Chain A
Amino acid sequence: MLEIDNLHARAEEREILRGINLRLKAGEVHAIMGPNGSGKSTLAQVLAGRETYTVTGGSVRYLGRDLLEMKPEERAREGLFLAFQYPVEIPGVSNMYFLRAALNAARKQQGLEELDAADFLTRVRDKIRLLGMEDSLLQRSVNEGFSGGEKKRNEIFQMAVLEPKLAVLDETDSGLDIDALKVVAQGVNALRGRERGILLVTHYQRLLNYIIPDFVHVLSNGRIVRSGGKELALELEEKGYGWLETAAVA
């Protein structure tokens, strides 16, 4: 469902992604690991269409379409979801209003009827529970005054409601205590399915104890320097990234 070929991207005259290749099929979970500054978030943001990054080479196909041709909102409506490393606050806009607008934008795209407030509520109640959050979450402004952990959980809650085809999770585990981590993992695992793909960006192996990936890729200095199965994560945990970074330069 996602084919990344030799992707190059830069920001402010600086090349950050330097030839990424990745194939993700429906039903698979891929983890992208790598040290800080290796370009993990950049990859996630480029896939979502952030305009602060300029793609300077390569191609990305998503569900058979040229992803790079699509506007960010089109990508979203076609089922691409990004859980942000740093979720953004939108004062005065309730979670409910925001999420219903988002859901209806996607439904409209699919030719489905828009949901009114009542239908929406019945749909989201279980998902709130799944993520161990309170109903009052819906009345609160988007991410405003949320703790770091709450913000991350809210991202996963949004994902659960929007039911994307391809979910890209950027460091969703960072800043979570172990209980919150389990809850988030449960939310992600609930979404796993034959027709869905998940790209997990993480610095630590910890999350991968709860969300078992099919493949692990190591990103270093804007390139994937190593790919393997779930064992690769454990190997990294043991040896650290230094081992691969030296390999990359060589």
Chain B
Amino acid sequence: MSTPATDIELLANREYQYGFITEIESETVPRGLNTDIIRLISAKKQEPEFMLEWRLRAFRQWQTMREPEWANVKYPPIDYQNIIYYAAPRQAGDRPKSLDEVDPKLLQTYEKLGVPLRERELLAGVAVDAVFDSVSVATTFRAKLAALGIIFSSFSEAVREHPELVRKYLGSVVPSSDNFFASLNSAVFSDGSFIYVPKGVRCPMELSTYFRINAQDSGQFERTLIIADEGAYVSYLEGCTAPKRDNNQLHAAVVELVALEGATIKYSTVQNWYPGDAEGRGGIYNFVTKRGKCAGRGSKISWTQVETGSSITWKYPSCILQGDDSVGEFYSVALTHHRQQADTGTKMIHIGRNTRSTIVSKGISAGHGQNTYRGMVKMLPGAAGARNYSQCDSLLLGDQCGAHTFPVLEVRNPTARVEHEASTSRIGEDQLFYCRQRGLSMEDAVSMIVNGFCKTVFRELPMEFAVEAQKLLGVSLEGSVG
């Protein structure tokens, strides 16, 4: 690992570096949302009948629902009839069979994003599913994974090739009626990743999806489903970026995780959607439902997220701890700068006996950023001996920003234990001066102090991601002090 001085210096004079637009012919559906549009999306994906029915039912549910207003975020009303619900790079015939058939412009795009898709150029040990607007354009290392019985494909392919698995698990953790954004996603979801790791298999490489929004006025509604069968292990990474545009774009994703007996799923996110400019123009509205079910005894789901992008983040990766002795973890760094707003946290629902959960949340606010931690720990009557430990720390840079915490505890079993710690601090002039007296620039000093603050979360990330996350914080905080 190089020193922060070099990492940050490389990036110091750049702002959002993923803001470019790929000039590519795009195939879109007309603006707006109705059953015709849903049928059209389903037809484009050559989906079986059950999938179309599922979508239509979700749409009917969505029509009866209202956008939630309880989150601590402010934004003008969203016109759901003015969004394009499907956009895909135009290609002749079917999805390309190999990378040689993929439009070189797309390959270049991912290269520019630092995610080369040619396997020999890839980081050894990371397989990638590349999602561009509404479709997956390539998935690497599939053959190698298939040899172990691991399915790693785009969601659309999974629907066609493994309908039985999709049917069994889709909506089993986040039902189509779960909440306004989840229902919307269920009706119109386009693509995402599907993973199935069979019994007893330890996935030998990190699996990852790189989401890219490119088209204007379109929304991205991806859906990810990961199933770890008994005793299986998988570590999954998710990254995302979008071009700089002056208008806001909607991203409403759903992620469902299912861990069966003794299985472990580790899910890491570095969310770097375009955050909008310093005045708050543009940026992604990130309304995401992520939930995992520890269905079997001794299973484990661990969420780690680094949220630096989006103009609004509304996201609560949660765990349903159903199996006895199951474990849920949530490690989060959320950074808001300029006019960004984040309302994020988790829910840990303890159902089984001796279930354990850990929550570590680090919120950093700079500029006019607003950062809210919202968490719920619920110990149901059957959760004898259950344990939770929560730690929520906020760091303020400057005096125009805000940090808020809303922890909710509900304990309905007398033998369950919960422990909650919280702190709010301001980055100290004395800390900055101490670092500068040792030769570090102001930017490096801020970045080092903030990285130190986030350390307990970063050490949960896979190596490549941890380095990436540290750099990202440095860039995102640029100009936040002095």
> CB of A82 within 8 A of chain B?
yes
User: Is there an interface contact between A73 and B448, defined as CB atoms closer than 8 Å?
Assistant: no
> CB of B3 within 8 A of chain A?
yes
> CB of B5 within 8 A of chain A?
yes
Provided the pairs A101-B4, A104-B3 are in contact, do residues A92 and B438 lie with their beta carbons within 8 angstroms? no
Q: Which one of B3, B431, B453 lies within 8 Å of A101 (CB-CB)?
A: B3
- Which B residue's beta carbon lies closest to that of A101? B3
> CB of B307 within 8 A of chain A?
no
Complex alpha-carbon distance, A117 and B1, angstroms: 8
Which residues from chain A contact B77 at a C-beta distance below 8 Å?
Answer: none
Which residues from chain A contact B452 at a C-beta distance below 8 Å?
Answer: 90-93, 141
User: Is there an interface contact between B434 and A73, defined as CB atoms closer than 8 Å?
Assistant: no
User: Is there an interface contact between A92 and B439, defined as CB atoms closer than 8 Å?
Assistant: no
> CB of B449 within 8 A of chain A?
yes
What is the minimal beta-carbon distance from B455 to any residue of chain A, in angstroms?
A: 4
Complex alpha-carbon distance, A139 and B449, angstroms: 16
- Which A residue's beta carbon lies closest to that of B459? A92
User: Is there an interface contact between A88 and B449, defined as CB atoms closer than 8 Å?
Assistant: no
Complex alpha-carbon distance, A48 and B433, angstroms: 9
Which residues from chain B contact A88 at a C-beta distance below 8 Å?
Answer: 428, 430-431, 433-434
User: Is there an interface contact between A101 and B444, defined as CB atoms closer than 8 Å?
Assistant: yes
Count of interface residues, chain B, beta-carbon cutoff 8 Å: 29
Q: Which of A48-83 contact B (CB under 8 A)?
A: 48-52, 71-73, 75-77, 81-82
Q: Which of B422-475 contact A (CB under 8 A)?
A: 428-431, 433-442, 444, 448-449, 451-456
Secondary structure call for the A interface: helix
- Which A residue's beta carbon lies closest to that of B433? A50
User: Is there an interface contact between A105 and B5, defined as CB atoms closer than 8 Å?
Assistant: yes
Q: Which of A78-135 contact B (CB under 8 A)?
A: 81-82, 84, 87-93, 97-102, 104-106, 108-109, 114, 117
Which residues from chain B contact A200 at a C-beta distance below 8 Å?
Answer: none
Count of interface residues, chain A, beta-carbon cutoff 8 Å: 37
> CB of A158 within 8 A of chain B?
yes
Which residues from chain A contact B441 at a C-beta distance below 8 Å?
Answer: 73, 105
Q: Which one of A50, A73, A93, A117 lies within 8 Å of B439 (CB-CB)?
A: A73
Encode contact with A along B1-28: 1 for CB under 8 Å, 0 otherwise. Answer: 1111110000000000000000000000
Provided the pairs A52-B429, A90-B431 are in contact, do residues A82 and B5 lie with their beta carbons within 8 angstroms? no
Chain A CB within 10 Å — which of B3, B6, B454 has the most?
B3
A-B contact count (CB 8 A): 93
Complex alpha-carbon distance, A91 and B442, angstroms: 18
User: Is there an interface contact between A100 and B3, defined as CB atoms closer than 8 Å?
Assistant: yes
What is the minimal beta-carbon distance from B429 to any residue of chain A, in angstroms?
A: 7
Q: Which one of A76, A81, A93 lies within 8 Å of B448 (CB-CB)?
A: A93
Chain A CB within 10 Å — which of B3, B439, B452, B453 has the most?
B439
What is the minimal beta-carbon distance from A53 to any residue of chain B, in angstroms?
A: 11
User: Is there an interface contact between A92 and B1, defined as CB atoms closer than 8 Å?
Assistant: no
Q: Which one of B428, B430, B437 lies within 8 Å of A48 (CB-CB)?
A: B437
What is the minimal beta-carbon distance from A51 to any residue of chain B, in angstroms?
A: 8
- Which A residue's beta carbon lies closest to that of B425? A91
What is the minimal beta-carbon distance from A143 to any residue of chain B, in angstroms?
A: 9
Which residues from chain A contact B435 at a C-beta distance below 8 Å?
Answer: 90, 98
What is the minimal beta-carbon distance from A133 to any residue of chain B, in angstroms?
A: 18
User: Is there an interface contact between A102 and B438, defined as CB atoms closer than 8 Å?
Assistant: yes
Chain A CB within 10 Å — which of B5, B428, B437 has the most?
B437
Which residues from chain B contact A166 at a C-beta distance below 8 Å?
Answer: none
- Which A residue's beta carbon lies closest to that of B455? A92
Provided the pairs A90-B431, A91-B453, A117-B1 are in contact, do residues A101 and B436 lie with their beta carbons within 8 angstroms? no
Q: Which one of A51, A91, A98, A117 lies within 8 Å of B438 (CB-CB)?
A: A98
Chain A CB within 10 Å — which of B5, B433, B438 has the most?
B438
Chain B CB within 10 Å — which of A50, A51, A81, A105 has the most?
A105
Q: Which of A143-200 contact B (CB under 8 A)?
A: 158, 162
User: Is there an interface contact between B453 and A92, defined as CB atoms closer than 8 Å?
Assistant: yes
User: Is there an interface contact between A98 and B448, defined as CB atoms closer than 8 Å?
Assistant: yes
- Which B residue's beta carbon lies closest to that of A88? B434
Which residues from chain A contact B448 at a C-beta distance below 8 Å?
Answer: 90, 93, 97-98, 101
Which residues from chain B contact A52 at a C-beta distance below 8 Å?
Answer: 429
User: Is there an interface contact between A114 and B428, defined as CB atoms closer than 8 Å?
Assistant: no
Which residues from chain A contact B431 at a C-beta distance below 8 Å?
Answer: 88-90
Provided the pairs A91-B453, A108-B5 are in contact, do residues A162 and B438 lie with their beta carbons within 8 angstroms? yes
- Which B residue's beta carbon lies closest to that of A91? B452
Which residues from chain B contact A97 at a C-beta distance below 8 Å?
Answer: 3-4, 448
Complex alpha-carbon distance, A88 and B5, angstroms: 20
Which residues from chain B contact A90 at a C-beta distance below 8 Å?
Answer: 431, 434-435, 448-449, 452
User: Is there an interface contact between B451 and A92, defined as CB atoms closer than 8 Å?
Assistant: yes
Chain A CB within 10 Å — which of B428, B436, B453, B456 has the most?
B436
Which residues from chain A contact B439 at a C-beta distance below 8 Å?
Answer: 73, 76-77, 101-102, 105-106, 109, 162
29 contacts between A and B (CB under 8 A): A48-B433, A48-B437, A49-B437, A50-B433, A71-B436, A72-B437, A76-B437, A76-B439, A81-B437, A84-B434, A88-B431, A88-B434, A92-B454, A92-B455, A92-B456, A93-B448, A93-B452, A99-B438, A100-B3, A101-B3, A101-B5, A101-B440, A101-B444, A102-B439, A105-B438, A105-B444, A109-B439, A141-B452, A158-B438
Q: Return the 3 tightest CB-CB contacts between A and B, nearest first.
A: A92-B452, A105-B439, A92-B455
